[in-house]
Amino acid sequence: MTDVQRIERVWTMIRTVHDPELPYLTVEEMGMVREVTVRNNQIVVSLTPTYSGCPATDVISEDVENAVKAVEPEAQVEVVLSPAWTTDWILPSAYEKMRAWTNRKNTSHNC
């Protein structure tokens, strides 16, 4: 299997990991996974939390690592704080889901 194929398999697994604070979005859609590379034949996933003090960073990192290790047992997840995460990294699909979620919440009445 080529490195490109390995990286694509890892991205497929990353797409299954949801943001614990916005569970209708994936960490990919939130732009938290900056890159997937191969270093010395090992897959490395670079993860940037939405802010440096994010209390969910460990959970997200562990969730990504568990998903990725299903296809790449020796993979490593590294938390990268610089450059800092920006909303520019959010995928358009995430904005669509956020709008739909907000509209759903605004139209439901629990009285």
0.85 exceeded by the pTM?
A: yes
Give 10-52 pLDDT, tens digit per residue.
Answer: 999 999 999 999 999 999 999 999 999 999 999 999 999 999 8
Beta carbons of 10 and 36 less than 8 angstroms apart: yes
β-bridge pairing 76-79 and 42-47: parallel
- The predicted-structure confidence for 77-110, as pLDDT tens digits, reads as follows 999 999 999 999 999 999 999 998 887 766 555 5
Q: DSSP secondary structure string, 75-100?
A: -EEEE--SSPP-GGGS-HHHHHHHHH
| DSSP sequence for 3-60 | HHHHHHHHHHHHTTPBPSSSTTSBTTTTT-EEEEEEETTEEEEEE--SSTT-TTHHHH
